[in-house]
Amino acid sequence: MILEALLLTCIKRLNGERSSSAIFHILKGKRSIQTIQDIHMYRLTEFYSSAKNIRKADFNKEMQKLLRQNLIKKTDVEPKIATYLLTELGNEWLGKNIGSSSIHYFNGLTYANTSLKFYSRLVLLIQTFTNTSLNNYSFLPIVNDPETERWVKKIYSSSVYQPREILNQLYEELKKLFLYFTDEEAHLFIDRLTGFDQYGLSLDQLANKYGKSYLEVQLLITAMTQNMLQVVITNKKRFPFLTFIAADLQTENTLLTNSALITNRLLQKGHDIPAIAQIRKLKYNTIYDHIVEIAIHDRTFPIEKYVNKETQQSIMQAIQQTKSYMLKDIKENINHEVSYFEIRLVLSLIKNTTHSGDKRDK
């Protein structure tokens, strides 16, 4: 159910204005200016990088399944590009199932990478301390990540607590944390954990046990871990040890690429676009992409330096008239001298504001 709800929600919010490939790039967490702008404009930040390991073949298979079930329909706006809308049946399905689908656990833009590190530390810590508490010091770590292994070894060697004390603390905190989830979700997560002389179930085994697909299990664990991290960070006093596990992990709320960072530094030094293009030996369009990327993440960015107030207003009016974020639609409804660069900059202004498009979920 979580996979269907995820795809249908993305399709609903995109409203036929982006291709199915755009959805795939969002789920995979592609670090491109188009994908980053999409997740902000269409309010899909929580689903960014939610299915990093999904294969294109599996994604296409799921989309075809939704088509066969008459939950979505292909638009004929761009015949060569696969864009979709929800059918009446699709809207009904989403209305009935979205509340119980667990997709509200996702918080991908902020926690996609952090939650993976948090999960790795947690499961390896549990494995290590359950084994050492019973004097078993020879076991195969279930996490194959040198950084996580070093972190757990450091905690173990420097810990002033006995393994059993740490396990008791973890047990009490996890028991409270699982109250934020359904019983089935909690049991599924626990079944994945490895302890002394007991290995956690594989994703395939979990899928068979709980009657879900491999991909659904993967998505659910990802969503739960992101929500766990959110709960722990916002309730530090209730979860002191789990807070300690996450303490030095950096959350991400910006995805500025390295190239855009360099351009931003040059802008801050007072260089204009032609100068930056010359210094970096890049095309103007590439610098334009960087500036849009910077504007998306920086609310204080001086957009009026590149788009005057009058042009901003005309672009906003075109957006309201067309009820669309598509560049082509907006361009056709304003002065032909307005550039796509100017339109994209204005779109970056409204990424976090309520727009008529937000009503699509209601």
Q: Tokens 């709800």 — which residue?
A: 5
The number of folded domains in the chain is: 3
String of DSSP letters for 91-147 = HHHHHHHGGGSSGGG--HHHHHHHHHHHHHHHHHHHHHHHHHTTT------S---HH
Q: Is residue 81 part of a domain?
A: yes
**Banded model confidence at residue 254, pLDDT cuts 50, 70, 90:** low
pLDDT in tens, 207-218: 999 999 999 999
Whether 307 shows a pLDDT value over 90: the answer reads yes
Q: How many helices (H) and strands (E) does the chain have?
A: 18, 2
Beta carbons within 10 angstroms of residue 88's beta carbon: 10
Global pTM?
0.84
Q: Is residue 40 part of a domain?
A: yes
**What was the pLDDT predicted at 161?**
65
The CATH number linked to 44 is: 1.10.10.10
Q: Is residue 251 part of a domain?
A: no
**What was the pLDDT predicted at 362?**
39
Amino acid identity of residue 231, one-letter, is: V
Q: Are residues 181 and 272 in the same domain?
A: no
Q: Are residues 194 and 113 in the same domain?
A: yes
Whether 350 shows a pLDDT value over 90: the answer reads no
**Banded model confidence at residue 357, pLDDT cuts 50, 70, 90:** very low
The residue among 45, 72, 101 that closes a domain is 101
**What was the pLDDT predicted at 358?**
41
Q: Are residues 65 and 145 in the same domain?
A: no
**Banded model confidence at residue 113, pLDDT cuts 50, 70, 90:** confident
Q: Is residue 221 part of a domain?
A: yes
Amino acid identity of residue 86, one-letter, is: L
Q: Is residue 252 part of a domain?
A: no
Q: Are residues 114 and 193 in the same domain?
A: yes
Q: Is residue 32 part of a domain?
A: yes
Q: Are residues 114 and 239 in the same domain?
A: yes
Q: Is residue 123 part of a domain?
A: yes
Q: Are residues 184 and 305 in the same domain?
A: no
Q: Are residues 120 and 242 in the same domain?
A: yes
Work out the average pLDDT over 22-43: 91
Whether 246 shows a pLDDT value over 60: the answer reads yes
Work out the average pLDDT over 244-265: 82
pLDDT in tens, 228-238: 999 999 999 99
Quote the tokens at residue 312: 């901003």
**What was the pLDDT predicted at 252?**
60
CB 3 within 8 A of CB 223: no
Q: Mean pLDDT over all residues of the chain? A: 90
**Banded model confidence at residue 355, pLDDT cuts 50, 70, 90:** very low
| Domain boundaries, position 320 | 258-361
**Banded model confidence at residue 76, pLDDT cuts 50, 70, 90:** confident
Work out the average pLDDT over 322-339: 89
Q: Are residues 238 and 112 in the same domain?
A: yes
pLDDT in tens, 133-191: 888 988 899 999 999 999 999 888 886 667 888 899 999 999 999 999 999 999 999 99
Tell me how far CA of residue 45 lies from CA of 60, 61, 156, 253, 317, in angstroms.
Answer: 22, 24, 36, 9, 25
The residue among 83, 101, 119 that closes a domain is 101
**Banded model confidence at residue 104, pLDDT cuts 50, 70, 90:** very high
Q: Are residues 54 and 161 in the same domain?
A: no
> What b/e string do you get for 238-249 counting C-beta neighbours within 10 Å, with b at 16 or more?
ebeebeebbeeb
Q: Are residues 298 and 220 in the same domain?
A: no
CB 290 within 8 A of CB 264: yes
Q: Are residues 283 and 346 in the same domain?
A: yes
Q: Are residues 275 and 311 in the same domain?
A: yes
Comparing 13-17, 89-93, 346-350, the range with the smallest average pLDDT is 346-350
**Banded model confidence at residue 34, pLDDT cuts 50, 70, 90:** confident
**What was the pLDDT predicted at 48?**
94
Short-list 56, 35, 57, CA closest to 45: 35
Percent of the chain residues topping a pLDDT of 90? 71
Which distant-in-sequence residues (6+ apart) come within 8 Å of 157 by Cβ?
none
Q: Is residue 253 part of a domain?
A: no
Work out the average pLDDT over 32-46: 89
